[in-house]
Structure 1
Amino acid sequence: MTISNEVTMAGILDSVNQRTQLVGQNRLELLLFKLVGRQRFGINVFKVREVLQCPPLTSLPKQDPYIKGVAHIRGQTISIIDLSKATGGPEIRQTEDCFIIIAEYNRSVQGFLVSGVERITTLSWQDIMPPPEGAGKSSYLTAVTDIDGEMVSILDVEKILNEISPVSTDLSEDVVDETVGESVGDKIVMIADDSTVARNQVKRALEPLGLNLVLAKNGQDALDQLKEIANGCQNSITEKVALLISDIEMPEMDGYTLTAELKNDERTKQMPVILHTSLSGVFNNAMVEKVGAEDFIPKFHPDELATAVKKWLKLEE
Structure 2
Amino acid sequence: MSGVLSSVDARTKLVGQNRLELLLFHLGGSQFFAINVFKVQEVMRLPRLTRIPDCHPVVRGVTHLRGQTVPVVDLRQAIQMGPLNMDAVDATIIVTEYNKTVQAFLVGGVDRIVNMNWNEILPPPSGAGRQHYLTAISRMDGRIVEIIDVEKVLAEISPYNTQLSDDVYDRGVLKQVQGKKILIVDDSMVAIEQMRQVLVPMGLTIVEARNGLDAYQLLMHWKEQGMDINDELLMIITDAEMPEMDGYMLTTEIRRDPVLKDTIVVLHTSLSGNFNKAMVEKVGCDGFLSKFAPFEMAAEVQRHIRTKLENRLG
Please state which band the TM-score falls in when normalised by the shorter chain: over 0.9
Q: AA paired with 1:125?
A: W
Work out which of the residue numbers 188, 202, 207 in structure 2 matches 1:195: 188
In structure 1, C-alpha distance between the alignment counterparts of 2:173 and 2:120, rounded to whole Å: 39
2:124 is the counterpart of 1:131: yes
Give unpaired runs (5+ residues) of structure 1. Answer: 1-6
Q: Pick one of 240, 260, 271 that aligns with 1:279.
A: 271
- What is the CA–CA distance in structure 1 between the aligned matches of 2:282 and 2:72, rounded to whole Å? 36
1:51 aligns to what? Answer: 43
Give 1:72 deviation, angstroms. 1.2
Deviates more, 1:178-187 or 1:77-86: 178-187
TM-score after normalising by structure 1 = 0.92
Match for 1:295: what amino acid?
A: G
Match of 1:80 among 36, 56, 72: 72
Q: Distance in 1 between matches of 2:196 and 2:152?
A: 15
Find the aligned partners of 2:164 and 2:215 in 1 and give their Cα distance.
26
Structure 2: unaligned runs, 5 residues or longer: none
Q: Which residue of 2 aligns with 1:215?
A: 208
Shift of the alpha carbon at 1:13? 6.6
Identity %: 49
Corresponding residue for residue 245 of structure 2: 253
Q: For each residue in 1:112-160, what CA deviation from the matched residue of structure 2 results, as whole angstroms up to 9, or x when unmatched? A: 0001001100000110100011211111010001111110000100001
Question: Hey, what's the Cα distance between the residues in 1 that align with 2:87 and 2:164?
Answer: 41
Query: 2-side partners of 1:58 and 1:310: how far apart?
Result: 44
Aligned ranges for residues 22-61 of structure 1 at < 5 Å? Answer: 22-61=14-53
| 8 Å Cα contact 1:24/1:287 also seen in 2 | no
Which aligned segments of 4 or more residues in structure 1 are displaced greater than 3 angstroms? Answer: 12-15, 177-181
Equivalent residue number for residue 197 of structure 2 = 204
Tell me the alpha carbon deviations over residues 76-135 of structure 1, each in whole angstroms, 9 at most, x when there is no partner: 111110000000102112246311000011111111000100110000011010001121
C-alpha separation in 2, matches of 1:207 and 1:307: 14
Q: Which moved more, 1:154-163 or 1:277-286?
A: 277-286
Aligned to 1:230: 223
TM-superposition CA deviations, 1:277-309 (whole Å, max 9, x none): 001153322221121111011111101011110
Cα distance, 1:179 vs. partner? 4.5
Measure, in 1, the Cα distance between the counterparts of 2:54 and 2:277: 40
User: Does structure 1 retain, via aligned residues, the 8 Å contact 2:178–2:203?
Assistant: no
Q: Offset at 1:73? A: 1.4
Cα distance in 2 between the residues matched to 1:289 and 1:177: 29
Asked if structure 1 preserves the Cα contact closer than 8 Å seen for 2:21 and 2:115, the reply is: yes
Aligned with residue 143 of structure 2, among 121, 146, 150: 150
For residues 7-59 of structure 1, the C-alpha deviation after alignment (integer angstroms, 9 at most, x for no partner) is 366xx573422210112211000000001311000000000011111101111
Root-mean-square deviation (CA), in Å? 1.8
- Residues 237-290 of structure 1: per-residue CA shift (max 9 Å, x gap): 212211100000000000000011011101111110000000115332222112
* Structure 1 counterpart SS, 2:122: coil
Residues 1:64 and 2:56 aligned together: yes
Give the drift of 1:212.
Answer: 1.3
Letter in 2 for 1:272: I
What amino acid is the match of 1:115?
G
**1:103 and 2:96 aligned:** yes
Shift of 1:174: 2.9
Would the aligned equivalents of 2:5 and 2:40 in 1 still touch at CA under 8 Å?
Answer: no
Which residue of 232, 244, 249 maps to 1:240?
A: 232
Q: Deviations over 1:173-214 (max 9, x none)?
A: 431244444211332001000000001101111122221111
Aligned to 2:292: 300
**Aligned residues of 2:185 and 2:210 also touching (Cα < 8 A):** yes
The answer as to whether partners of 1:26 and 1:125 remain within 8 angstroms in 2 is yes
Aligned residues of 1:26 and 1:124 also touching (Cα < 8 A): yes
The reply to whether residue 262 of structure 1 matches residue 265 of structure 2 is no
TM-score, normalisation: structure 2: 0.93
Is the CA contact (8 Å cut-off) linking 1:179 and 1:209 kept in structure 2?
no
